[in-house]
Each structure stands twice: as structure tokens, then as C-alpha cells.
């Protein structure tokens, strides 16, 4: 592993700047999903166990360099205290003397780093200021690692650095899935648009053995092959690009799996009247909302033939019953194969996690990434600034 972890660092008596992601959803001033807060607990406890004093750096929402009271991390403090089972000291304007005056086992939460315009521009002045608050930098925010910000990248060059427990687990899982995976590898890529995942598809066809394309983007590939898709969501102007990806996959020996049968409806609504037809026979007045049972069987066969699965994006309109059937069915098969030790399964992205939770199988996957953009950029083969800085 090219980066250090907490196990490699001497922390006794040290102040540890720890970049975390606690950018959680809120309603009426209360955290509605504390998953991200709970995920950082092992890192905080390990810093304390090694005699370190954790100073947590984080952003919350998008204040765009201005102080926005409703985006203060004060609102997250109660959820953080509940997760840790102890008091957390909030610092609106941190300074080293105030931090040093606190007990060594204090946990400190610094105000939203994005309240300063210097954060997102990765201003060296802010990086130096942050570095002055601690002795060691620990990055536990993989989900923000694709951003070269002062608190994710700049400060890492100024202090001895390491990956936190969540960051290390994420990097290990992604390396196992794409870096040196157990083969064959199958990737599932879904979602609405080909245009948003061009680099991802281009990178994957050279790295995986099977590529399952679902959701609205599958319709674009069907159009590229001369198939009429009625009123379905499709980027017809992307057809030439889709054909290029198909050609690239063929040259690389990657088998692309597209729907061979589809579930169609006349309305985009839950429980809308629907029917299953061959992918080549979508009625002109209907739209494709899910993959059919024959397609599910082909995907399952690919899973059975594979050792590693990478998943980003649903196979259909999973938020509407019964058009979640393909996503849920395939997810449950992947979960069973993972439980049986047949498959290493790694998934990431907001819609993907929501779909796996809906299927009741999120706990059964080998690893589920908390990251959205960072997970995608890793899959695209890009180097993430926050990760690269840890190697420095």
C-alpha cells in the first residue's frame, strides 16, 4: 500500500487534524441519516487510543466561501456526540493555543471549512493555517478526495500524513476491485445518461470481462444499434459515441450485456400498466422502464462466471414499483454470491446505495462506498488529489 495508515503513526501527545466527511442530510435542524457520521467513529476512537487529540475538519453543504448559519457544523455536533458517546468541543475560530489548552483526550470539531473562500481554491495560506493547528494530518474523507481543496490536499503536503480507517478501507476495496482484481470481472453501470459516464465506460471496457449497461443509457446503446425505443429516455445524439464504445469493447475482449427484453409502460408512474416485450419491439407510444426476466437471467449468468463485481447505477426506474424488479433481483443474486464466498462485490454512488438498501442487501456486499463523485472518478481511472497527496 502506497500510503500510511494510523498504524504507522506515532500519535501520543500529538494533535491530529482529521479530515472527515459528515456532510449529512438534515431536516428541520436534525440529521435524518447519520451514516457518514457513524462511519468516522473507528478513526476517532483509534486516534484517542493512540494518545492523539483529534481535531475534525469537514465541510457541510455548499456555502460557496461565505458564512451561512444554516450550514454551520454546529447542527451536526449533536449527531456526532451521539455517535461517539461523548462531548465534542465546537470551535468556530480555531487557534493552536486554544487547542493545546484542552485535555489531550478532547475531541474538537472545527467550523465548516467551506465558509472560507480559500478552501475550494486550495489557497496555500489556508493550508498553512490548518497545518498550524496540528502535528499530523489524517484523511478519512475519501468522498471528498477528488477535490483538491486546502483541507483535503493542501494541508497533506505540510504535515506527516496518513489515511484514516474509512479511507484505508475504501482504497483497499477499490484496489481489489479495479487495481488487481480476481478475474473474471463484471461491472454494472446504470443511470440515465451515457454522456455523464463516457469516461467511465471507456475505462471499464479495457479493464473488465463483462460490462452490463442498464437504465436510460442502455436505451442509447439500443438506438446506436438501430433499435427503436419509442418514448424512452435516450440520448440519440450520443449514438456514434455508443458505437465507438461497443467497438472498443469488442477489441478489448469485453462482452457488453444490453437488455434483450424490456418492461414498458405508457406512464412514468408507480404501478403503471406495463408489459414485457423483446428489446427490439418497444411500442412507439411506450417507454422502457426496466430490464426483463430474460435480461436478468443473462446478467445472473455473468455474475456466476465472475469473481469480482463493481456496481454503479440502477438497471431501471428502481424508485417506482414494479420497475425495480431487475435492480432488486440482480442485487439479491450478487448478495447471495458474496455471502457464499463466490464474489467480491463493490458498489458506490448515491442511487446505487439507495437501490441496494431498497433490496435489503447493502450489508451483504463486500464493500459499499460512501462516495459519489470520488467513486466514479476512481472507476474512470483518474488519480484523486486527496489520495495522491497521501503518497507525497
Catalytic residues: 36, 193, 350, 373
What Å distances lie between residue 173 and 27, 273, 291, CA to CA? 32, 41, 29
Distance, CA of 56 to CA of 76 (rounded, Å) = 12
What Å distances lie between residue 46 and 4, 50, 102, 362, 386, CA to CA? 15, 6, 19, 26, 21
The strand pair at 274-278 and 161-163 is best described as unpaired
Distance, CA of 238 to CA of 223 (rounded, Å) = 9
- Sheet with 367-368, strands from edge to edge, namely 255-257, 210-213, 185-189, 308-312, 344-347, 367-368
Annotate 114-141 with DSSP letters as a single string: GGSHHHHTT-HHHHHHHHTT-SEEEE--
Distance, CA of 158 to CA of 150 (rounded, Å) = 11
| Surface-to-core class of residue 382, CB atoms within 10 Å of its CB (0-12 exposed, 13-18 middle, 19+ buried) | middle
| Surface-to-core class of residue 64, CB atoms within 10 Å of its CB (0-12 exposed, 13-18 middle, 19+ buried) | exposed
Nine-digit cell string for 108: 474538537
Nine-digit cell string for 120: 475550494
Coil, strand or helix at 315:
coil
Task: Provide the 10 A C-beta neighbour count for residue 49.
Answer: 11
Cα 295–chain centre separation: 26
Amino acid at each position: 500500500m502506497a500510503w500510511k495508515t494510523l498504524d504507522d503513526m506515532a500519535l501520543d501527545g500529538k494533535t491530529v487534524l482529521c479530515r472527515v466527511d459528515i456532510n449529512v442530510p438534515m431536516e428541520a435542524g436534525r440529521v435524518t441519516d447519520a451514516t457518514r457520521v457513524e462511519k468516522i467513529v473507528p478513526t476517532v476512537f483509534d486516534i484517542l487510543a493512540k494518545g492523539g487529540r483529534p481535531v475534525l475538519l469537514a465541510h457541510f453543504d455548499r456555502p460557496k466561501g461565505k458564512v451561512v448559519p444554516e450550514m454551520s457544523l454546529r447542527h451536526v455536533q449533536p449527531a456526532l456526540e451521539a455517535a461517539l458517546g461523548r462531548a465534542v468541543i465546537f470551535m468556530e475560530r480555531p487557534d493552536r493555543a486554544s487547542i493545546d489548552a484542552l485535555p489531550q483526550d478532547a475531541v474538537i470539531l472545527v467550523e465548516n471549512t467551506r465558509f472560507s473562500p480559500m478552501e475550494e481554491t486550495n489557497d496555500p495560506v489556508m493550508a498553512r493555517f490548518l497545518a498550524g493547528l496540528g502535528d499530523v494530518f489524517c484523511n478519512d474523507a475519501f468522498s471528498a478526495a477528488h477535490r483538491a481543496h486546502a483541507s483535503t490536499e493542501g494541508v497533506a503536503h505540510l504535515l506527516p500524513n496518513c489515511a484514516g480507517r474509512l479511507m484505508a478501507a475504501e482504497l483497499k476495496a477499490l484496489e481489489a476491485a479495479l487495481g488487481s482484481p480476481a478475474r473474471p470481472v463484471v461491472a454494472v453501470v446504470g443511470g440515465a445518461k451515457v454522456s455523464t459516464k463516457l469516461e467511465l465506460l471507456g475505462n471499464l471496457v479495457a479493464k473488465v470481462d463483462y460490462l452490463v449497461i442498464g437504465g436510460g443509457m442502455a436505451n442509447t446503446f439500443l438506438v446506436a444499434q438501430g433499435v427503436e425505443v419509442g418514448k424512452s429516455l435516450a440520448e440519440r445524439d450520443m449514438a456514434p459515441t455508443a458505437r465507438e464504445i461497443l467497438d472498443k469493447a469488442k477489441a478489448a475482449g469485453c462482452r457488453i450485456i444490453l437488455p434483450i427484453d424490456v418492461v414498458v409502460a405508457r406512464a412514468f408512474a408507480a404501478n403503471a400498466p406495463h408489459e414485457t416485450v423483446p428489446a427490439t419491439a418497444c411500442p412507439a407510444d411506450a417507454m422502457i422502464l426496466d430490464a426483463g426476466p430474460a435480461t436478468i437471467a443473462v446478467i445472473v449468468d455473468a455474475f456466476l462466471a465472475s469473481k469480482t463485481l463493481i456496481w454503479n447505477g440502477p438497471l431501471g426506474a428502481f424508485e417506482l414499483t414494479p420497475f425495480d424488479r431487475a435492480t432488486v433481483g440482480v442485487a439479491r443474486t450478487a448478495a447471495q454470491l458474496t455471502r457464499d464466498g463466490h464474489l467480491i462485490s463493490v458498489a458506490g454512488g448515491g442511487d446505487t446505495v439507495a437501490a441496494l438498501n431498497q433490496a435489503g442487501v447493502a450489508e451483504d456486499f463486500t464493500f459499499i462506498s460512501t462516495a459519489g463523485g470520488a467513486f466514479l472518478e476512481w472507476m474512470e481511472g483518474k488519480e484523486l488529489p486527496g489520495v495522491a497527496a497521501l503518497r507525497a
